[in-house]
Amino acid sequence: MISRRRVLLGGAAAAGTLIVGYALWPSGRIRRADRLAAKTGERFLAYWIKIADDDIVTVVIPHCDMGTGIFTALLQMAAEELGADWDKTRAETAPPDPLFANGALVEGFALGQAGMTRDSVPAFLQGSVFAAGNRLAQFMDIQVTGGSSAVRTTGVYGVRIAAAAAREMLIAAAADRLKAPLKAFHSEGSRVIHKPSGQSFRFGELAAAASRYSPSSHPALKPRSEYTLVGKAIPRIDIPAKVNGATQYGIDVQVPGMQYAAIKISPIVGGKLISVNEASIAGNPGIEKIIKLDDAVIVVADRFWRAQRAAEALKTVFGDAGNAAVSSDSIREQQLKALNQDSIKHEFSLGKGAKALQNQAAIERLYQVPYLAHAAMEPVNATALRKADGTLEVWAGSQDGLGARAFCAKTAGLHLEQVIFHLMPSGGAFGRRLPGLWNFLAYAVQAAMALPGTPVKLIFTREQDLRHDYYRPNVSSRFKATLNADGTPAAWVNEYTTDNGSNAEAHIVYEVPNQAYGAVKVATPVPVGPWRSVEFSWHGFFVESFIDELAHEAKADPLEYRRALLRHKPRHLAALELAATKAGWGAPLAPARARGIAMVECFGTIVVHVAEVEVSDDGALKVHRITSAVDCGLAVNPDGFKAQIEGAIVFGLSAALYGEITLSKGAVEQQNFPNYPVVRLKDCPAIEVHIIESDAPFGGGGEPGTPPVAPAVTNAIFAAAGIRIRELPINKHALKRGA
Amino acid sequence: MQIQLNVNGHPRQVDVEADAPLLWVIRDELNLTGTKFGCGVGACGACTVHVNGKPVRSCVLPVSAVVDTQVTTIEGIGTEALSAVQAAWILHQVPQCGYCQSGVIMAVSALLASNPTPTEEELGAVITNICRCGTYTRMRAAVSSLAANGARK
């Protein structure tokens, strides 16, 4: 995921190309879309937008449903621009076909990278219809759901523009019928209305004629002041099917003749399968086949529990790939050694950079975070069938339907056209189902290829899911700072370990005249991958802990200290102010209670959390309350957005309090929820989320709530008990006061 | 072996080992996939169903243990109209990915049947289901609205 995104953006930048596309198709492509994804009586007007004779508007969404509510939000954006009656709109998952590759996503990232918005793109470039974004998205097989990007890229650069273009086409069709000027028409309630005469037409009456016009690449968008659906807390469309067991996730797929597969993967990272004692499960019922792979063995049986029990009982020998001595401790030692080198290159500096530290006693601190698993509730799984004609059919939840289809084709040695991929809703993902993290797809496809004609459903047990994840990296980060006479930082130097390169996420928003950042790569065999909020999940904790420590050194209030360093950042100041006010910052609390504050801006959204904690005399910690202020520009669906922040807080709190994957002798030690604890109802604090509407562009929703949780809580623990937690998780530390 | 069950009010017969986990019998023999696999060790509650009205974690319950009982799954509640818990779940927009919610709704329904006005502490002590999307504050709000209704009745 990360590397692919880099390649893509790097390529665009290297070529000096400005990517401008409006995700609109020429008519030939629209007719192909009709053949692929339109039912009788409906047709595409523009990319992603279908209108049926019965007025139903369907938005075909190039994302997966993993629980974040984006189908509802994107449908709101489309219905808003179209002037559609909400009750006559539907959302559908886009087919994992190159035709529906997400050009808007690519474009959004590319423009963002160039520091541009759509409005700042020169007019002469706005006409290209078959745009570079689409071409690149197809080339990259991208339909990714990640990076908190659905609204701010697919919505902003794709769906709302396509919907506005479709509205213009409907109006053109109506104008042609009445032989009246275009500007006499508007759309509302799924009708096109001719104001002077009061005559109106249903969308369904106009759709066929409208589809004969070409969509404009730069239709007029509604001004924010006229929004009636965007900004409204409309109930999510996916929720009714999630309260009665009706939603079919990947794990629920039933195919006639299906067999079930359980897997045993090398416990030691990178280990290869040496031998299997098939006789050890000779007496087990229902066994269909034992499939030996490079680093795993799969047992296929007629029932899942039979496959699972056999896989657990099966005697196997795996190699250690030279990793038998790898442990979390050995990795930490490597990291410290790397950080202690004198030669760390600073890839980014401001002012005098690290030179500003010279000959001065610096405040120096080291912070560390552990590996974390995603542990989504639906263990990873996939169902695959190699058919008699040589083609492959796959059912799975994935954060990139088209990419997953291409990956399955590659794994099976087939062409894309020879693979049918059914993108299923995911029971959580949090990054686990992104490109690059697809061991479950690879194993399921290999099992199907070994059993032609038999559909095989491979389910990872929770133990396999937890022990064969791609983990949030284990990171160490060292800071050095000096303070001016007034206590504000004069220099800020940060050196940190990394698995894959330097992180702009480490760079601070605070006004410090001299800054320097250096990354030092520490190679380990442990598979790592994006985890909700990715690099911000660690740098957010590091930066917001260190700034809090500097406030303490300067004998300043942590809120006031931050404010003084944000004088030219009105949105950040407003978010700090609102969170502090709502949390009662400064107001007296019961004994042993205290508040901590933290702020992180990521994915276009600013989040401030104030945590209120209690550290009792015996060292017990209780997080009572998290008060949050969020500036995301405008929340398309404020209640859905709040739900994302609430969920991201709980996700971040699980990690902060207890989250830790450790390795010993080359293998992950944790097995299942009993030794990978997560927050449950009784531990969940009261959460209040306050949204600030600003005129900033739409910000992301899924991830930004996570990074400030851990530092808000550890800063509060310091305020309550004088104990500074510099290494997560918190439960590793005794919280006895004065300890 | 042949095992007689009663699931959602219907007699059902399955041919499985006596120690087959009830969860997989429900999902794969009876094709009732609303009940979910989450951990396989009774730790997360995604597989919660009712046996004679009491919540049980079906992933660690052998099917032979439910002979001569009434088993109810998520598909067996709210069949005519949504149950009060399901309606409250929609009103408070509780689910995100939704995967754990069948189990949560079954656990909460059983709790409210025996204690219509649980305190926040009682709720936290009894509902130990895991939701990785973190919908707990909305579960609390939904239960508290149901408890308020229960108290008025």
Judging contacts by C-beta atoms under 8 Å, the chain B residues touching residue A73 are none
Place of tokens 């039912």: A39
d(CA B114, CA A407): 51
**What pLDDT shows up at residue A108?**
63
For residue A297, give the 3-state DSSP assignment: strand
Report the pLDDT value the prediction gives residue A119, as an integer from 0 to 100. Answer: 47
| Distance to chain A for B143, nearest Cα, Å | 12
Closest partner CB to A426 (pick from B20, B86, B97): B97
Q: CA-nearest residue of chain A to B62?
A: A305
Q: Is B34 on the interface with A (CB under 8 A)?
A: yes
Selected residue of B133, B138, B139, B140 to mutate for chain A interface (largest A Cβ count, 10 A): B133
Nearest to A240 among B38, B46, B90 (CB): B90
Structure token pair of residue A54: 């019965």
User: Contact at 8 Å (CB) between A69 and A236?
Assistant: yes
- B119: nearest CA partner in chain A: A682
pLDDT at A140 > cutoff 70:
no
What's residue A144's pLDDT? 85
pLDDT in tens, A327-339: 999 999 999 999 9
Structure tokens at A403: 């990419």
- Nearest beta carbon to residue B93 from set A236, A303, A462: A236
Q: What pairing do the DSSP bridges indicate for beta strands A475-483 and A363-369?
A: antiparallel
Q: Which of B43, B78, B125 lies nearest to residue A682, judging by beta carbons? A: B125
C-alpha B15/C-alpha B28 separation (Å) is 12
- In this prediction, residues B98-107 reach a mean pLDDT of 98
Q: In this predicted model, what pLDDT tens digit does every residue of A590-619 receive, in sequence order?
A: 999 999 999 999 999 999 999 999 999 999
Helix, strand or coil for residue A668? Answer: strand
Set of chain A residues whose Cβ sits within 8 Å of the Cβ of B38? 377-379, 462
Integer CA distances (angstroms), A558 to A366, A546, A551, A599, A689, in order: 19, 11, 5, 11, 21
- Pick from B41, B73, B132: which is nearest to A672 by CB? B41
Burial class (CB in 10 A: 0-12, 13-18, 19+), A163: buried
In this complex, the residue of A239, A252, A680 whose CB is nearest that of residue B128 is A680
Tell me the chain A residues in contact with residue B105 when contact means C-beta distances shorter than 8 Å: 243
Chain A contact set for B118 (CB, 8 A): none
* Superfamily name with CATH number, domain B2-76: Beta-grasp domain (3.10.20.30)
**ipTM reported for the complex surpasses 0.90:** yes
The angle subtended at Cα A54 by Cα A53 and Cα A56, nearest 5°, is 100
Select from A68, A245, A305 the Cβ nearest to the Cβ of B74.
A245
Residue with tokens 């079954």: B106
**pTM reported for the whole predicted model:** 0.94
**Which pLDDT score, from 0 to 100, does residue B23 have?**
98
| Dihedral-angle region of residue A198 (phi above 0 means left; psi in -120 to 50 means alpha; beta otherwise) | left
User: Which pLDDT does position A228 carry in this prediction?
Assistant: 97
Residue B63 sits at the chain A interface (C-beta within 8 Å): no
Residue A120: the pLDDT is 45
Q: What are phi and psi of A135, to 5 degrees?
A: -65, -45
- Condensed to tens digits (0 to 9), the pLDDT of residues A518-541 reads 999 999 999 999 999 999 999 999
Sequence ranges of chain B with CATH classification 1.10.150.120: 84-152
Distance in Å, alpha carbon of B34 to nearest chain A alpha carbon = 4
Between vectors from CA A711 to CA A145 and to CA A365, what angle results, nearest 5°? Answer: 115
Is some CB atom of chain A closer than 8 A to the CB atom of B39? yes
User: In angstroms, what separates the C-alpha of A660 from chain B's closest C-alpha?
Assistant: 15
Tell me phi and psi for residue B64, to 5 degrees.
-65, -20
User: CA–CA separation, B141 vs B131, rounded Å?
Assistant: 15
pLDDT surpasses 60 at B53: yes
Minimal Cβ distance to B44: which of A650, A651, A673: A673
Q: Which domains does chain A show, CATH number per domain?
A: 2-229 (3.30.365.10), 255-321+374-467 (3.30.365.10), 475-484+527-732 (3.30.365.10)
Q: Mutating which of A70, A244, A456 best tests the B interface, going by the most B Cβ atoms within 10 A?
A: A244
Given CB atoms, is B61 within the 8 Å cutoff of chain A?
no
Using one digit for the tens of pLDDT, what is the confidence trace for A289-320? Answer: 999 999 999 999 999 999 999 999 999 999 99
**Chain A contact present for B140, CB below 8 A:** yes
Q: Could A252 and B33 be called an inter-chain contact, meaning their C-beta atoms sit closer than 8 Å?
A: yes
Pure H helices in A451-569: 462-467, 536-553, 558-564
Q: How many CB pairs under 8 A join A and B?
A: 182
Domain with CATH 3.10.20.30 in chain B: 2-76
Tell me which chain B residue has its CA closest to the CA of residue A429.
B97
| CB-count burial class (<10 Å; 0-12, 13-18, 19+) for A559 | buried
Res A9 pLDDT > 60: no
> Is A242's CB within 8 Å of B20's CB?
no
Q: What is residue A370's predicted lDDT score, i.e. its pLDDT?
A: 98
Chain A residues with CB-CB distance to B20 below 8 A: 303, 305
**B84-152 CATH choice from 3.40.50.300, 1.10.150.120, 3.10.180.10, 3.40.50.10490:** 1.10.150.120
Give the one of A69, A305, A681 whose C-beta lies nearest to B124's C-beta. Answer: A681
Cα angle, residue A350 at apex, residues A349 and A354 outer, rounded to 5°: 60
Q: Is the pLDDT of residue A412 over 90?
A: yes
Tens digits of per-residue pLDDT, A620-642?
999 999 999 999 999 999 999 99
Interface test with A, best of B132, B143, B146 (most A CBs within 10 A): B132
Chain B neighbors of A64, CB-CB under 8 A? none
Res A142: pLDDT: 76
User: What is the nearest CA distance from B139 to chain A, expressed in angstroms?
Assistant: 9
Residue percentage of chain A with pLDDT more than 90? 84
**Residue among A239, A245, A303 minimizing CB distance to B34:** A245
- Region at A357 (left for phi over 0; alpha for psi -120 to 50; beta for the rest): alpha
Average pLDDT, chain A: 92
With cut-offs at 50, 70 and 90, classify the pLDDT of residue A26. Answer: confident
Q: Which residue has the tokens 């409250």?
A: B88
Interchain proximity A646–B135, CB inside 8 Å? yes
**Residue A278 burial by Cβ neighbours in a 10 Å radius (0-12, 13-18, 19+):** middle
Residues in A touching B21 (Cβ below 8 Å): 305
Q: Which residues on chain B are in Cβ contact (under 8 Å) with A239?
A: 89-90, 93-95, 98
Res A544 pLDDT > 90: yes
Contacts of B121 in chain A (CB under 8 A): 682
Q: Which of A373, A368, A364 is nearest to A331 (CA)?
A: A368
The set of long-range contacts for A220-227, using a CB threshold of 8 Å and a minimum separation of 24, is A220/A164, A220/A168, A221/A81, A221/A160, A221/A161, A221/A164, A222/A80, A222/A81, A222/A164, A224/A634, A227/A80
Chain B residues closer than 8 Å to A236 by CB: 93
Q: How confident is the model at residue A146 (pLDDT cuts 50, 70, 90)?
A: confident
Q: Is B59 on the interface with A (CB under 8 A)?
A: no
Q: Is the Cβ–Cβ distance between A401 and A146 less than 8 Å?
A: no
CA of B113 vs chain A CAs: smallest distance (Å): 18
Helices (H), A388-438: 401-412
- Please report residues of A whose CB lies closer than 8 A to that of B94: 239, 243
pLDDT of residue A25: 73
Is A680's CB within 8 Å of B124's CB? yes
> Which residues are paired to A261 by β-bridges?
A300, A458
Whether the predicted pLDDT of A109 surpasses 80 = no
B47 touches A at CB < 8 Å:
no
Spell out the residues 6+ positions from residue A155 whose beta carbon is closer than 8 angstroms to its own: A73, A74, A77, A636, A698
CB contact under 8 A, B39 and A648: no
Contact assignment for B97 to A66 by CB distance below 8 Å:
yes
A68–B43 C-beta distance less than 8 A: no
B41–chain A Cβ distance below 8 A for any pair: yes
Name the token pair of A507: 């760079």
Confidence of residue A138 (pLDDT cuts 50, 70, 90): low
Is the CB of residue B94 less than 8 Å from the CB of residue B103? no
Nearest chain B Cα distance for residue A645, angstroms: 10
Which chain A residues are closer than 8 Å to B43 by Cβ?
672-674
What part of B 79-108 touches A (C-beta under 8 Å)? 82, 86, 89-90, 93-102, 105
Q: Say which of A303, A427, A459 has its CB closest to residue B97.
A: A427
Residue A567 has pLDDT above 50, yes or no: yes
Q: How far is B57 from chain A (nearest CA, A)?
A: 15
